[in-house]
Chains A and B, each alone.
Chain A
Amino acid sequence: MNANNLLTWLSAKGSGTWSRYRAAVDELQVSDHANGEDEDFHEDVPDSSSLPIHHRLKLNLERLGHAEFFRKDFKNGWRVVPPVLACASNQPEVVGILCGARTDQLLALIEDASSDLHITATNQKECPDRISIIANDQRRLQSVAETVGLHFQPEAAKTLLAAAPPIDDLQLLKLAELPFGPDWEVKRFSSKTLGWVSTTADEARSASFGLFRFQMAFRPQYYLRLHRKEYTIPVQVGKYIVLRKHRRRVISYDDDKQTFSVPISCRPPLLVDRALTLCSGLIPRVEERRLKYRNVSKAIALKTAALLKE
C-alpha cells in the first residue's frame, strides 16, 4: 500500500479525528521509509528518526495542500481540502498540480477533460503521487478545472505567499500565560545551535525575550516571551522571530538550480512551506541537514525571505 490509498480514504471520509487518521495509516499499512535522516518537523520528538509515519504523512499532506489538520473548526481532527488545480507558471509552460481530495472517478474525469494535455503522475516517498497537468496556457488549465469541477488557483505559490502574514504579524500571536507547576519540562530555542536548550520555568518567566517550549507528556506548548509578555505562537514562526532578533540568517537560495533551502530545524511556517512545495509539487529533499525546495523562482525566494524577515 502507499499514501495514495490514504488520500483516497481521506477523500472518501471527508473529515475525521486524529485517532481515526492514525488508525487508517496503520490499517492501510502505508510504507514506512524512515531512514533516520528525516527532517525535524515535529518539535516534541527529540530524535527525528523515531518519528512515527503518521506524523510525516500529516506534514506532507499539509504541505501539498491535500488536507488540513488541527484547525479552528476541528482542533483534534482533519479535513480534506476540496480538489484544486494549483497552477505554477513554469515558462514557457504552465503546470497545474492536483491538490486536495482525489478519487478514481475524479481522476478519470480529469483524464477525459485533458486528453490533449500532458498528465504525469510522479511517485513520492511518504506522500501521494504528484499529478500534474502541463499546458501552454493557463486558460487551458482553467477550462479543464471548470469542466471537471475543480477549484482553480492561478499562481498558487505566489498567491499563498502574498496572503500569508509575515512572521512579525500580530495576528500570529495570542496573548497567554506561561503554565505553572513543577512537572513541565522547559526548553529554550537557541539561535546559535538552532536547537532546544534546557532551562527552567523561572528563567522563562524572568527572560525579556525568547522562545520557550513547555512540555508535559508529549504535549508541547510554545510561548514567545516578548516585551515582558507571553504569547502562544506557531513554533516555526517563533523560531524565525528569534532568528530575526538575533540577526541570524539561515535561508539560502541557489538561482542556478532554482533551489531554496533552510536548515532542517528551521522549517518555514506551514503556509510558506506549502507555497515553496507547490512550486514543484514535490516535497523538499533532505540534503546535508537542510530542506531543499525545488523549482523555486527568484521572485518567490525573495517574497519568502521577506515573510521570514531574513
Chain B
Amino acid sequence: MVTIWLIILIVAIVFGVVISVWLALRRRTSGRTGPFQSQEHETPRETPAKPIIGEVEKPVVCDEGEKDPIELTAANDLESQGDDHLDLNDDEDKDEIKKEKEKEQTATPVEDGSSTEAPEEQPSETVISPEVQNGMPQRPELSVDEGKDDTEVEITDSEIGRVIPQHEEPIISTTELTVVDTETESEDTRTAEPILLEDEVTVIKHETEKLPERPNGKDVEPVSAKRQKTTPRKKPPKYQPTVRTPESTKRDKRQEKEGKKESRVRSLKISVHIVFGLRKKCRVSLLPARSDDIGEEIEVRGPNGQEPWSVYQDEWYSSILPPNIDKLLKQGGIWQHPGVQTQWVLSGREIYVLAPSPSSNIHGYVSIPRLILGEDHLVLCTKDQQVNVQEALAEAGCSKTTIISDDSSVPDNWILFESVLPKIPIQHDSEAGIYNILRPTHALEIVMKGGIRLSHSIWLNGYPPYIRIRGVSGDETEVMIDGRSASVDSNGNYSSSGWDKPGLHTVFAGGVTQSYELVDGVQEWSMFDAFVYRPNFAETIDRTIIICGPIVAPNTVDGDVSLTPSTNACFLGAIPGQIAFSPKPFNVRSSEFLAISGFPLVWTLPTNPLVSDRSLACVKLIRSQHVVLKHSGAFLDNRENVLRWCYKILEASYKRLRIIPDTVESHELWTDYKRAAHRLRRRLR
C-alpha cells in the first residue's frame, strides 16, 4: 500500500511539474501586452513621487499590494523620521512635486537617452537620490541653506512652471546648473552644452559633503515651509534654456529696478543759513530741508559721520554747525538717510547768495539761487573771490556793501558781504559761470511775510501774512487776490477786499500763483496734570493735588481744594452728611493750609468748635452755596454723618465763632445752615 501511494505521489509531482513548465512556456510566448502586465507598468510611473509627499502615499502602496522596493524604502524612511517633517510637506509642495513629475515625464524620452528603462527608473532616481537617500530626505533643504538664494530658486521654478508646457526642447540637462549659475556666473557662460553637467555634479557633491555637518538632519525642523518649497525648485535641471531667457530678462528688469531705485533716492537741499546775533555777531550754519514724510528725529550719515537731526519747522531740520564748515561750503557734502532713501546735498562753491526767507519762516538769511532785484542780501564768498565778487556786485548796482571778514564767526578763508541791494538787472552769460548768481534778473516771486503762521501755508485768522512781490522793479505787475485786483500800500503790501477773511485765498501775479489759508486755531483748552503731588498731611485722606499753570485742583471730579485757616480742619459741604476732617499738617508754619475734600467745600471750621479759642478760631465760607436738604445721595442716608454735620454747625454757632468773610451774605448763609442743622437734629434724634 505504501509503495502504491508513493508511486501516485511521484506521478502527481511529475504531472504538476510538467503542467507548470507548460504554463511557463505559454506565458513566455504570450508577450507583454496583457492587461495584468500593463497595470504593472503603470504603477511604477506614479510611485516615485509618492514617498516625497509622505505617509499619505504609503497606504496606497500597501492597499494595492505593489511591493515596489524603492517605494517601501522611501515610506519606511519617512515613517522612521517621525512627525518632524510633516510640517515641511505642505500641500503646495505636493502640487509642485506633481507638476515637476509631469515635467519630468514630458522630458524623460529625451533626457534618458542613455537609459534603456528610462520611463520607470528616471523619476525614481530623480526623486530619491537627493531626497531620501540614506534616509535623509531633507538633503535638498540643506543645499538651499548653503548659499542658495530662495529668490533665485523661486524665479527659476516659477519660470519653469510656465515655460515647460510651451517648450519641449531637448536641451534640458543643464537646468539645475542654470539655477546655480544665476548668481555666480554671467549670462555668456551659461550655455546648454553638456560640459556644464560637470558643474552640476560638483554642486550636488558639494551639497552632499555639507550634509554631515548637520547632526543627523535633526535641525531641519526649524527650516521654514518656504525653504522646503524651494527644494523641488532647485531640482529640475532640464529647463535651463527655457528658464534662461526669462531669467536674464528678469535679471535685467531687476537691474533696471535697482537702477530706478537708485534714481529714486530723493535729494533735498541743504541751505546755508546766517543769523546775526548780539553785537552783530553772525552765525553761519547749514539748514537741511525737510519733507513731511520724513521723521522729526532722524539719524543721517554725513561728511563728519553719523549725525542726529531734529525737526525745526515743517520744512526744515534744525541748523547744523559742522566744525569743518569752511571746507564743506567750498567742496560740498552729502548727508544720507538710508531709511527713507533720501540724501541732502550741499553743492560746494565759492560764492553763496543769501536773502531773508520768502515766507519769513526762518530767522536770518537763507541761501538762494541768485540775487533778487531790490532785495537785501548777504553774499558769502571765499577770500580768493573777493575782488571778482566786488566787481560783480558793483555792476549790479550794489553800492553800499560792507565786508565782514575779521569776525571769528565767519568761516576761515571766507568773507561776508552785507547790505547787498542790487538795483540793476544784468543778463546772464554762460561764460560768466558762478558769477551769474550775482547777476539779478527780473524773476517775479510772491512773498508772504509776517502774521502768525500755523503750518506751511496756513495762517491764524486775524493774523494774515503781508503779501509782497519781489524780483521785479516798478509797479507794472498786476496782482490779483482771489480774482480781485489788489492794491498796494506804501510798504509794498498788497491787499484786496476780503483778503484777510477766514478761508483759502489765492494770489496771482505775473503768471505766478500762490495760496494761503486763514483758519481759527484751537479754541478749547483742557486742564492737564503738569504736576501731581500728594500733600504729606493728606496721606490718610488718600488724595492728590494737580497743578496746571496757576490752577490747583483735586484729582477727582467731585473733589475740592481750597485754602483754609490752619485752625480749621473740619470741612462741610452743602448736603447734610458732607463732612470731612483733615489732620493738621505738621509742617505748616503759615496761617493757612490746603483743604482737600471729596465734595465741594462750603464751610471750614475748627474740629472741635466748643473748645476752640474764639479769638483765633473762625468759620470760613469757601463757596457760597445754599444747603441742599432734598438730596437722594448717600450723604443724607448716613445718619451718623448727618448728625455730625448738624452738631458741628450748632457747636460753632453756640460758640459764636467769627464768620469769614464778614459780610451780610455770609452771615445769612450761615443762618440758613444753622436752621437746617436744627431741623435735621430734631428729626434724627
Contacts and interface: CB of A to CB of B under 8 A. Distances in A.
A61 B296 CA distance: 25
A19 B452 contact: no
Given A13-B522, A17-B296, A26-B362, A302 B590 contact: yes
Contact of A274 (B452, B550, B588, B591): B550
Contact of A278 (B532, B550, B594): B550
A34 B527 CA distance: 33
Interface stretch (B24-32, B206-214, B498-506, B541-549): B541-549
Interface in B261-310: 277-278, 296, 310
A20 B533 CA distance: 29
Interface of B: 277-278, 296, 310-313, 316, 318, 360-363, 452-454, 460, 462-463, 520-523, 525-536, 545, 547-552, 561-563, 587-594, 624
Contacts of A101: 522, 525
Contacts of A303: 589-590
A202 B452 CA distance: 51
Interface stretch (A80-88, A114-122, A223-231): A80-88
Contact of B363 (A29, A49, A83, A100): A29
Nearest to B454: A12
A17 B563 CA distance: 35
A155 B594 CA distance: 11
Given A68-B548, A103-B523, A73 B590 contact: no
B533 A158 contact: no
Query: For the complex, would chain B's binding face be called helix, strand, loop or mixed by DSSP majority?
Result: loop
Given A12-B452, A27-B360, A153 B528 contact: no
Interface of A: 5, 8-9, 11-14, 17, 19-20, 22-23, 26-29, 32, 34, 49, 65-68, 71-73, 79-84, 86, 99-101, 103-105, 139, 151, 153-156, 158-166, 169, 171, 271, 274, 278, 299, 302-303, 306
B603 to A, nearest CB: 15
Contacts of A13: 454, 521-522
B589 A302 contact: yes
A8 B548 contact: no
A105 B551 CA distance: 22
Nearest to A165: B533
Contact of A151 (B278, B318, B551): B551
B213 to A, nearest CB: 43
Given A12-B454, A163-B594, A303-B589, A100 B525 contact: yes
A20 B311 contact: yes
A17 B311 contact: yes
Contacts of A151: 527, 551
Nearest to B591: A299
Nearest to A155: B563
A278 B552 CA distance: 14
Nearest to A156: B550
Contacts of B534: 171
Given A13-B454, A82-B525, A166-B587, A99 B312 contact: no
A23 B312 contact: yes
A104 B462 contact: yes
Contacts of B550: 65, 81, 84, 86, 99-100, 153, 156, 160, 274, 278
Contacts of A49: 278
Contacts of B523: 103, 105
B685 to A, nearest CB: 37
Contact of B592 (A17, A99, A160, A162): A162
A81 B452 contact: no
Contact of B313 (A9, A23, A100): A23
A174 to B, nearest CB: 14
A100 B563 contact: no
27 contacts: A12-B460, A14-B521, A20-B311, A27-B453, A32-B278, A65-B550, A68-B548, A71-B531, A81-B527, A81-B548, A86-B550, A99-B549, A100-B525, A100-B549, A100-B550, A103-B521, A104-B462, A158-B563, A159-B563, A160-B552, A161-B590, A162-B563, A162-B590, A162-B593, A163-B533, A166-B587, A171-B534
A71 B547 CA distance: 11
Given A5-B463, A162-B593, A11 B522 contact: yes
A165 B585 CA distance: 12
A154 B594 CA distance: 12
Contacts of A159: 552, 561-563, 594
Nearest to B279: A36
A17 to B, nearest CB: 7
Contacts of B460: 8-9, 12
Given A5-B463, A68-B530, A171-B533, A84 B551 contact: yes
Highest count of chain A CB atoms <10 Å: which of B522, B550, B563, B590: B550
B547 A8 contact: no
Nearest to B462: A104
B278 A81 contact: no
A99 B530 CA distance: 15
Nearest to A97: B550
B318 A79 contact: no
Nearest to B661: A138
Given A163-B535, A306-B587, A306-B589, A27 B529 contact: no
Contacts of A19: 296, 310-312, 318
A166 B196 CA distance: 86
Contacts of A86: 550
B528 A79 contact: yes
B76 to A, nearest CB: 62
A73 B363 contact: no
A27 B313 contact: yes
Contacts of A67: 549
B312 A22 contact: yes
A29 B550 CA distance: 28
A8 B463 contact: yes
Contact of A153 (B311, B522, B545, B551): B551
B590 A299 contact: yes
A81 B25 CA distance: 111
A20 B278 CA distance: 23
A154 B561 CA distance: 11
Contacts of A29: 363
B551 A5 contact: no
3 closest A-B pairs (Cβ-Cβ)?
Answer: A12-B521, A81-B549, A65-B549
B621 to A, nearest CB: 11
A49 B527 CA distance: 35
Contacts of A22: 312, 318
A101 to B, nearest CB: 5
Nearest to A106: B523
B593 A271 contact: no
A100 B550 CA distance: 9
Nearest to A18: B310
Contacts of B521: 11-14, 103
Contacts of B318: 19, 22
A307 to B, nearest CB: 9
Given A27-B360, A79-B528, A100-B525, A5 B549 contact: no
Given A9-B452, A164-B533, A303-B590, A66 B549 contact: yes
Given A5-B463, A163-B535, A82 B527 contact: yes
Given A13-B454, A65-B549, 14 more contacts: A5-B463, A9-B454, A27-B360, A68-B548, A81-B527, A82-B527, A101-B525, A160-B550, A162-B563, A163-B552, A165-B533, A171-B533, A271-B531, A274-B550
